[in-house]
Amino acid sequence: MINRKRIVESSFALVAAVSRFAARARTFYYDVVLSDHVCPTCDSPVTMLGEGRCRCRSCSRIVDPTLAFQACPRCGAKPRLRIRRYECSACGAEITSRFLFDGLVFDADYFRRKMGEHRQRRAEQRERIRQVLAEGRSGVLTPPPADLSTVPGLADALNSLTGGMQLPLTYQPREGFDLKRYQAHLQAHIQPFAMSLDEIPPLGEDARIDRVWRFITIIFLAHAGIIEVWQDGQTVMLKQYETNPEGPHVPGDVEEIDGVEGLVGRVET
Ligand SMILES: [Zn+2]
Ligand SMILES: [Zn+2]
């Protein structure tokens, strides 16, 4: 047991020593490869900041040394950075950077752009999920309290519905209008197939008021997504709202873009 503990401890010490050595080797490597290059602006010496970035010791300009100091070995043209590697901007040949200690470079703009797209796609997907869930749940929503002013055009519709009757309608719900009672009555008679408003039996004695209240109730049930309402000539038609029997489905799941999805996810966390 003691031996095993000692082995583990010396392994950690070895890893730490190797890391320190690697850091020194990296610094030494950069000093060497940058020793015969100077700032393109002011000819002063440059120091490496990190992979693909060095800074002028005098004017502080930051450049990518591979782009600034290397050329295509095939045609001599300037390199350009393509996501995670360099290539010739003229002939497209791959260019191996002399200025990368472990051969990894990172196009920060590219990944920033990809991160933005990734976040936007996730936000869009969340919104789709929210909508699908909202539609899926519409069957159990209870309608909001009756307020005729919140439904544009309702007053005109009610007037045309009761056209030919003597008194013009006042648009305040009167006392005695029990939306819950009318809602229960309508839901007891509504069918999954189309029927007209007049096929629903009256609930009150005053036929005109009863018809108006039935109509108001179906407007609110339609707004709550419980029934569908449409007009067929002079007839108001309605039926139960069909919920999706297959359950919520989210179209357009997040797809991979250029195979960087996993990488982007790691960068973000
Ligand atoms: Zn400079
Ligand atoms: Zn080339």
> What string of DSSP letters covers the chain?
-HHHHHHHHHHHHHHHHHHHHHHHHHHHHHHHHHTT-B-TTT--BEEEEETTEEEETTT--EE-HHHHH---TTT-PPEEEETTEEEETTT--EE--SS-SSS----HHHHHHHHHHHHHHHHHHHHHHHHHHHHHTGGGPPPPPP-GGGSTTHHHHHHHHTTTSSSPPP-SPPTT--HHHHHHHHHHH--SS-EEGGGSPP-SS-HHHHHHHHHHHHHHHHHTTSEEEEEETTEEEEEE----TT----SS----STT-HHHHHHHH-
Kindly give the distance from the C-alpha atom of residue 53 to the centroid of ligand 1, in angstroms, as a whole number.
14
Kindly give the distance from the C-alpha atom of residue 71 to the centroid of ligand 2, in angstroms, as a whole number.
8
Which-ligand-closest: CA of 95?
Answer: 2
User: What is the per-residue pLDDT across 18-59, written as a single tens digit (0 to 9) for each?
Assistant: 889 988 998 999 999 999 999 999 999 999 998 889 999 999
| Low-confidence stretches of the chain (pLDDT beneath 50) | 245-269
Kindly give the distance from the C-alpha atom of residue 45 to the centroid of ligand 1, in angstroms, as a whole number.
8
User: What is the per-residue pLDDT across 66-101, written as a single tens digit (0 to 9) for each?
Assistant: 999 999 999 999 999 988 889 999 999 999 999 988
Per-domain boundaries in the chain = 2-95, 108-269
Which-ligand-closest: CA of 70?
Answer: 2
Kindly give the distance from the C-alpha atom of residue 11 to the centroid of ligand 2, in angstroms, as a whole number.
46
Provide the pLDDT for residue 246.
47
Model confidence, pTM: 0.44
